[in-house]
Copies of this chain bind each other. A is one copy, B any other.
Amino acid sequence: MQAALAAARQAAGRGEVPVGAVITGPDGALLAVTGNETEARQDSTAHAELLVIAAAQARRGSKYLEDCDLWVTLEPCAMCAGAIALARIRRLYFGAADQKGGAVEHGPRLFSQPTIHHRPEIYGGLSEAEASQLLQDFFAARRG
Protein backbone atom coordinates (compact mmCIF):
# COMPACT_ATOMS: atom_id res chain seq x y z
CA MET A 1 0.00 0.00 0.00
CA GLN A 2 2.99 2.32 0.49
CA ALA A 3 3.70 2.25 -3.27
CA ALA A 4 0.05 3.08 -4.00
CA LEU A 5 0.18 5.98 -1.53
CA ALA A 6 3.36 7.26 -3.19
CA ALA A 7 1.61 7.13 -6.59
CA ALA A 8 -1.34 9.02 -5.09
CA ARG A 9 1.02 11.72 -3.77
CA GLN A 10 2.62 12.02 -7.22
CA ALA A 11 -0.85 12.34 -8.77
CA ALA A 12 -1.64 15.21 -6.38
CA GLY A 13 1.59 16.89 -7.50
CA ARG A 14 0.30 16.79 -11.09
CA GLY A 15 -3.03 18.36 -10.07
CA GLU A 16 -4.89 15.05 -10.19
CA VAL A 17 -7.28 13.79 -7.51
CA PRO A 18 -4.77 11.79 -5.42
CA VAL A 19 -5.54 8.12 -5.95
CA GLY A 20 -2.83 5.54 -6.56
CA ALA A 21 -2.95 1.85 -7.41
CA VAL A 22 -0.58 -1.10 -7.54
CA ILE A 23 -0.87 -4.67 -8.80
CA THR A 24 1.31 -7.35 -7.27
CA GLY A 25 1.92 -10.82 -8.65
CA PRO A 26 1.56 -14.19 -6.90
CA ASP A 27 4.95 -13.79 -5.20
CA GLY A 28 4.12 -10.24 -4.06
CA ALA A 29 6.36 -8.68 -6.70
CA LEU A 30 5.19 -5.34 -8.04
CA LEU A 31 3.77 -5.67 -11.57
CA ALA A 32 2.41 -2.15 -12.17
CA VAL A 33 1.96 1.17 -10.35
CA THR A 34 -0.24 4.01 -11.57
CA GLY A 35 -1.82 7.22 -10.37
CA ASN A 36 -5.04 8.85 -11.47
CA GLU A 37 -4.62 10.61 -14.87
CA THR A 38 -8.11 11.93 -15.58
CA GLU A 39 -6.99 15.57 -15.80
CA ALA A 40 -3.83 15.04 -17.84
CA ARG A 41 -5.64 12.85 -20.36
CA GLN A 42 -8.99 14.65 -20.05
CA ASP A 43 -10.32 11.10 -19.92
CA SER A 44 -12.83 10.28 -17.20
CA THR A 45 -12.01 6.58 -17.54
CA ALA A 46 -8.32 7.12 -16.61
CA HIS A 47 -8.77 6.12 -12.96
CA ALA A 48 -5.70 4.58 -11.29
CA GLU A 49 -7.34 1.14 -11.04
CA LEU A 50 -8.25 0.93 -14.72
CA LEU A 51 -4.78 2.07 -15.73
CA VAL A 52 -3.04 -0.37 -13.40
CA ILE A 53 -5.15 -3.31 -14.64
CA ALA A 54 -4.36 -2.47 -18.28
CA ALA A 55 -0.65 -2.06 -17.43
CA ALA A 56 -0.44 -5.37 -15.56
CA GLN A 57 -2.31 -7.18 -18.33
CA ALA A 58 0.05 -5.70 -20.94
CA ARG A 59 3.05 -6.78 -18.90
CA ARG A 60 1.63 -10.26 -18.44
CA GLY A 61 0.24 -10.57 -21.99
CA SER A 62 -2.94 -11.91 -20.45
CA LYS A 63 -6.35 -10.39 -19.80
CA TYR A 64 -6.82 -12.41 -16.62
CA LEU A 65 -4.99 -11.63 -13.41
CA GLU A 66 -6.33 -14.48 -11.29
CA ASP A 67 -3.18 -14.78 -9.18
CA CYS A 68 -2.68 -11.03 -8.74
CA ASP A 69 -3.72 -8.56 -6.05
CA LEU A 70 -4.78 -4.93 -6.50
CA TRP A 71 -3.98 -2.26 -3.92
CA VAL A 72 -5.68 1.13 -4.22
CA THR A 73 -5.80 4.11 -1.88
CA LEU A 74 -9.56 4.74 -2.31
CA GLU A 75 -12.60 2.46 -2.43
CA PRO A 76 -13.19 1.71 -6.15
CA CYS A 77 -16.13 3.25 -8.04
CA ALA A 78 -18.58 1.15 -10.09
CA MET A 79 -16.45 1.40 -13.24
CA CYS A 80 -13.32 0.23 -11.45
CA ALA A 81 -15.07 -2.45 -9.39
CA GLY A 82 -16.52 -3.80 -12.64
CA ALA A 83 -13.04 -3.78 -14.18
CA ILE A 84 -11.65 -5.66 -11.14
CA ALA A 85 -14.28 -8.36 -11.63
CA LEU A 86 -13.59 -8.61 -15.37
CA ALA A 87 -9.83 -8.97 -14.76
CA ARG A 88 -10.50 -11.65 -12.10
CA ILE A 89 -8.26 -9.98 -9.53
CA ARG A 90 -7.53 -12.33 -6.59
CA ARG A 91 -7.54 -9.85 -3.70
CA LEU A 92 -8.58 -6.23 -3.46
CA TYR A 93 -6.98 -4.07 -0.78
CA PHE A 94 -8.21 -0.51 -0.48
CA GLY A 95 -7.54 2.47 1.76
CA ALA A 96 -10.13 5.18 2.34
CA ALA A 97 -13.84 4.41 2.12
CA ASP A 98 -15.81 6.47 -0.41
CA GLN A 99 -19.38 6.97 0.74
CA LYS A 100 -20.32 9.07 -2.29
CA GLY A 101 -18.68 7.25 -5.18
CA GLY A 102 -17.62 3.88 -3.77
CA ALA A 103 -19.21 0.75 -5.20
CA VAL A 104 -17.66 -1.92 -2.96
CA GLU A 105 -18.94 -1.12 0.53
CA HIS A 106 -21.30 1.64 -0.62
CA GLY A 107 -23.83 2.34 -3.37
CA PRO A 108 -24.38 -0.72 -5.58
CA ARG A 109 -22.00 -2.92 -3.49
CA LEU A 110 -21.06 -4.52 -6.75
CA PHE A 111 -19.33 -7.61 -5.41
CA SER A 112 -22.44 -8.51 -3.42
CA GLN A 113 -24.61 -8.50 -6.56
CA PRO A 114 -25.81 -11.95 -7.59
CA THR A 115 -24.89 -11.31 -11.24
CA ILE A 116 -21.24 -10.44 -10.58
CA HIS A 117 -18.99 -12.91 -12.43
CA HIS A 118 -16.03 -12.72 -10.09
CA ARG A 119 -15.62 -11.68 -6.48
CA PRO A 120 -12.12 -10.94 -5.15
CA GLU A 121 -11.26 -11.30 -1.48
CA ILE A 122 -11.73 -7.76 -0.12
CA TYR A 123 -9.77 -5.96 2.58
CA GLY A 124 -10.73 -2.32 3.18
CA GLY A 125 -9.37 0.37 5.47
CA LEU A 126 -5.63 -0.20 4.87
CA SER A 127 -3.67 2.97 5.70
CA GLU A 128 -7.09 4.59 5.70
CA ALA A 129 -6.08 7.70 7.69
CA GLU A 130 -3.16 8.48 5.38
CA ALA A 131 -5.14 7.80 2.20
CA SER A 132 -8.08 9.97 3.22
CA GLN A 133 -5.84 12.76 4.56
CA LEU A 134 -4.26 13.00 1.10
CA LEU A 135 -7.70 13.47 -0.47
CA GLN A 136 -8.84 15.95 2.20
CA ASP A 137 -5.68 18.05 1.77
CA PHE A 138 -6.09 18.05 -2.00
CA PHE A 139 -9.70 19.24 -1.95
CA ALA A 140 -9.03 21.75 0.85
CA ALA A 141 -6.22 23.28 -1.24
CA ARG A 142 -8.50 23.46 -4.27
CA ARG A 143 -11.22 25.23 -2.35
CA GLY A 144 -8.78 27.46 -0.45
Interface residues of A (CB under 8 A from B): 38-39, 41-46, 50, 53-54, 57-58, 60-64, 77-83, 85-88, 100-103, 106-108, 110, 113-117
Contacts and interface: CB of A to CB of B under 8 A. Distances in A.
A63 B82 CA distance: 20
Number of copies: 2
B117 A113 contact: no
B43 A58 contact: yes
A62 B80 contact: no
Contacts of A110: 78, 108
- Describe A's contact surface by its main secondary structure: loop
B77 A63 contact: no
Given A44-B88, A78-B113, 19 more contacts: A41-B63, A42-B58, A42-B62, A42-B63, A43-B53, A44-B63, A44-B86, A45-B86, A45-B87, A50-B50, A77-B82, A78-B78, A78-B82, A79-B79, A79-B80, A101-B115, A101-B117, A102-B115, A107-B114
